[in-house]
Amino acid sequence: MTSHLFRLELRLLARERAAWVLLGLFAAALAYGLWNGVRLAHRQSEAATALTQDAAQFQTQLREVLGKQSVDPKAIAGRGTTAVLPAAPLPLLATGQSDLSPSHETVVLWKLAAPADTRSELENPSHLMAGRFDLAFVLVWLFPLFLLALIYDLMAGDRESGTLRLALAQGIAPWGWMARRALARSLPMLTLAALATLTAGFFGGAGGAGPRLPLALTVVLTYGLFWVALALAANAIARTAAGAATALGAAWVLLVLVAPTLLNVTVETLYPTPSRPELVAAGRKASGDAEKRGGELLNSFYRDHPELAPPGQQADFAAQHLTVQSEVGRAVEPVRQKFDAQLARQQTAVGQWRFVSPAIAAHEALTDLAGTGYWRHRAFREQVGGLRQAVSAFFTPRIHKREPITSADLDKLPRFEFREEPAGTWMGRVLASLAGMLALAGVLGAWAWRSLRPARLGRLST
Amino acid sequence: MLETLKLTKRFHSRVAVNQLSLSIKPGEVFALLGPNGAGKTTTINLLLGFLTPDEGETRVNGASVTADPIAARRHIAYIPEQVMLYPRFTGVENLDYFSTLGGRRHTREELLQLLKKAGLPAEAADRRVGTYSKGMRQKVGIALALATEAKALLLDEPTSGLDPAASHEFSLLLRKLAGQGVAILMATHDLFRAREDATRIGILLDGKLAGDYATNDIKHVDLEKLYLKHLRA
């Protein structure tokens, strides 16, 4: 009986031309989002492969050279050590931070005081939320709009046309009828969203994604369920289809546009980051002060090209530059730490308050699952920080002591290997987002159920 | 079968139905006559459970409508003045949809048979309802009443706006249903149809039953006189 009614609801939906147009537009938006993801992932993968190959080639050459002779540490230190963030597990699902934060960095001894992330001023919650036209954008921002366009008049339209009285006179419980209708009408949109998520997984490297793909699917469907529950609740109280559409449109604006923006403004006000110019100015001032103590111009040139310093003076210039750099690093560190700590506080606050809007919770969960979220990129930056320390610790004493690198040092050379965040940590965040969305959907569902109970038939039908 | 016991419904200070007691037995057709605002549609809404009475009780086949409106409505078929159906569905699909809602599943052949019994032309069954006349939609409503095998039928101005031929066909169907033991309550303004179709006629004024007559005992002319007398009283 239930499945037959479900099929009839689907047939009724299929007779609406507007439904086909909406489904076509949604499919096109999903395809465009996926295509954008493919392009970005391809570009990043190419860059990472080139860097990895280049680093491997250098290692081979270095091994050959060191097999024959020792090498001046300045020559190797000048070449730098490459750190590459491995490809995200589900890169097509969400761009997240991957177009804001670098996924690779070459750590050069002479430039350790330079800011690691030259684009970090873009890392604010507005960009975390806004992002580009990727699959997550379509699923978080547009999916509810398309879904609501199909289900906004679950019952209000029937009340207006008069079919509601005839239907209720058949002795059906309004809640059961509406819930079935809501699921039937939302099924095509939910299916498209699920298919796009699966496509992002299968064509974006889901092989190594473990539980990420099933969890992403659950997040997308739970997010859709929230909007279905909202439509049910709106239809239980709205007197007309126009009223239901207005209420749902307002809810979309509030939850998808206003709430994230308000949250971003709030966290930026509560935890303001020092401005980027302040960071740069602090670096310049410290650098200027330190360099004035040496021959400024010459030092500046030899700082970048210590191998060109006159024989005998090379070590002096290099040692001097390292001392200056260490001084600059010390001077800038408090500003940099404050900058970084505030960013982390902002993101923590966004995480804690993500339940004010399921859109924030869904977006945070999807970027976490994609492996393009804030915390994975932060882990990369922190580990690159560790690599900088390792590079400094390895080369600085050798340069001061004018100690050449030999084949015995080959295995001691600093290398970068990214340690992924423990699965339990990201999974905890994702499951909390899921639980939050389910709770919100449950509250709305309970409200709809209460409003559609048989005792309220009079209000529903008249 | 259909009962109201001292039924009262108020809308703010206005009493729409006042201590109304009715009992319609299986096979009876009770025509509820009255001017606009007399409380006819409110009575039907109370019997359907769409409104909750302030006092009194309504029962359908022994089941209290107030206590369990969903169970009570399973014994009722309802045909409003305008039978509103889904215009994108065909007649047979609408019948399928609404009868399934009522918990009864029929094969396509059975549905076509029901529509035929209700007098819908065979060629119309698979046509979209958006192209139907009011009379054709009423016939789908009758087919729905047949499909649900209801013990009671509530009709709200069923022949309003129908042409004489369609009204006549409707009357024949009604009599057929009554003959099958269905208790029928028909709210109407149409004195002629009431006299033709009903076995009993009640005159409702300001929510009160002002008169209750067996149609066998009165003629058309007498009914009109009686009705006007009650209105002027």
User: And the tokens for B121?
Assistant: 């032309």
- Chain A residue whose CA is closest to B141: A166
Q: Are strands B2-11 and B14-24 parallel, antiparallel or unpaired?
A: antiparallel
B16 or B161, higher pLDDT: B16
> For position A306, what pLDDT does the model report?
66
pLDDT, tens digit (0-9, with 9 covering 90-100), for A36-53: 888 888 888 888 888 888
Residues of chain A neighbouring B82 (CB-CB closer than 8 A): 162
Alpha carbons B173 and B139: distance in angstroms, whole number:
9
**In this model, does residue B143 exceed pLDDT 60?**
yes
- The mean pLDDT of chain A is 83
Using DSSP's 3-state secondary structure scheme, residue A390 falls into helix
Alpha carbons B83 and B102: distance in angstroms, whole number:
16
**Lowest-confidence pick of A184-188, A285-289, A408-412:** A285-289
**Percent with pLDDT over 90 in chain B:** 37
Q: What is the mean pLDDT of residues A186-195?
A: 96
β partners of residue B5: B57
A251 or B210, higher pLDDT: A251
At A87, is the pLDDT very low, low, confident or very high (cuts 50, 70, 90)? confident
B2-75+150-232 is classed CATH 3.40.50.300: yes
Q: What is the mean pLDDT of residues A311-335?
A: 71
**In this model, does residue A292 exceed pLDDT 70?**
no
**Percent with pLDDT over 70 in chain B:** 99
- Chain A residue whose CA is closest to B45: A458
- Chain B residue whose CA is closest to A457: B50
Contacts of A154 (CB under 8 A, 6+ apart): A178, A181, A182, A185, A231, A232, A235, A244
Compute chain A's Rg from CA coordinates.
Answer: 29
Nearest C-alpha of chain B: how many angstroms from A133? Answer: 36
Q: How many domains does chain A have?
A: 1
What one-letter code names the amino acid at B198?
Answer: A
- The mean pLDDT of chain B is 88
Measure CB to CB from residue A1 to each of B51, B73, B100 and give the nearest one.
B100
> For position A253, what pLDDT does the model report?
95
Nearest C-alpha of chain A: how many angstroms from B218? Answer: 34
Q: Where are the domains of chain B?
A: 2-75+150-232, 87-147
- Chain A residue whose CA is closest to B106: A1
CB spacing of A172 vs B103 below 8 angstroms: yes
Q: Which among B100, B130, B166 has a CA at the least distance from the CA of A8?
A: B100
pLDDT, tens digit (0-9, with 9 covering 90-100), for B156-176: 888 777 778 878 888 888 888
Q: What is the mean pLDDT of residues A389-395?
A: 87
| Residue of B44, B75, B97, B148 to mutate, interface with A, max A Cβ within 10 Å | B97
> For position A69, what pLDDT does the model report?
86
CB spacing of A171 vs B88 below 8 angstroms: no
**In this model, does residue A119 exceed pLDDT 50?**
no
**In this model, does residue A124 exceed pLDDT 80?**
no
> For position B115, what pLDDT does the model report?
93
> For position A308, what pLDDT does the model report?
59
Q: Token pair 């009570």 is at which residue?
A: B72
> For position A118, what pLDDT does the model report?
47
pLDDT, tens digit (0-9, with 9 covering 90-100), for A270-282: 888 766 677 677 7
Structural contact between residues A111 and A151, judged by C-beta atoms closer than 8 angstroms: no
Alpha carbons A107 and A389: distance in angstroms, whole number:
10
Q: How far is CA B211 from the centre of its chain?
A: 20
Alpha carbons B35 and B210: distance in angstroms, whole number:
12
Count CB neighbours of B64 within 10 A: 15
> For position B130, what pLDDT does the model report?
93
CB spacing of B69 vs A462 below 8 angstroms: no
**Rounded alpha-carbon distances, angstroms, from residue A108 to A275, A323, A396, B148:** 25, 15, 12, 83
Alpha carbons A384 and A373: distance in angstroms, whole number:
17
> For position A20, what pLDDT does the model report?
96
- Domain extent for A176: 2-461
**In this model, does residue A125 exceed pLDDT 60?**
no
At A307, is the pLDDT very low, low, confident or very high (cuts 50, 70, 90)? low
Structural contact between residues A76 and A62, judged by C-beta atoms closer than 8 angstroms: yes
CB of A59 within 8 Å of a chain B CB? The answer is: no
Q: Are strands B208-214 and B200-205 parallel, antiparallel or unpaired?
A: antiparallel
Q: What is the mean pLDDT of residues A84-101?
A: 82
Alpha carbons A203 and A42: distance in angstroms, whole number:
12
Contacts of A115 (CB under 8 A, 6+ apart): A279, A280, A283, A336
> For position A29, what pLDDT does the model report?
96
Alpha carbons A90 and A87: distance in angstroms, whole number:
8
User: And the tokens for A345?
Assistant: 């506080």
CB spacing of B102 vs A12 below 8 angstroms: no
* Angle at CA of residue B39, ends B38 and B43, nearest 5°: 155
Contacts of A413 (CB under 8 A, 6+ apart): A76, A81, A394, A405
Structural contact between residues A58 and A78, judged by C-beta atoms closer than 8 angstroms: no
User: And the tokens for A364?
Assistant: 């945070």
**In this model, does residue A256 exceed pLDDT 60?**
yes
Alpha helices in B18-158 (DSSP H): 40-48, 69-73, 91-101, 108-117, 134-147
**In this model, does residue A168 exceed pLDDT 90?**
no
ipTM of the complex in this document: 0.88
Alpha carbons A126 and A347: distance in angstroms, whole number:
11
**In this model, does residue B102 exceed pLDDT 50?**
yes
> For position A304, what pLDDT does the model report?
65
Nearest C-alpha of chain A: how many angstroms from B198? Answer: 23
> For position A142, what pLDDT does the model report?
95
What one-letter code names the amino acid at A137?
Answer: F
CB spacing of B97 vs A173 below 8 angstroms: no
> For position A41, what pLDDT does the model report?
84
Say how many residues make up chain A.
Answer: 462
At A294, is the pLDDT very low, low, confident or very high (cuts 50, 70, 90)? low
Contacts of B9 (CB under 8 A, 6+ apart): B15, B16, B17, B39, B42, B46, B51, B53, B54, B207
Q: Which among B52, B189, B143 has a CA at the least distance from the CA of A455?
A: B52
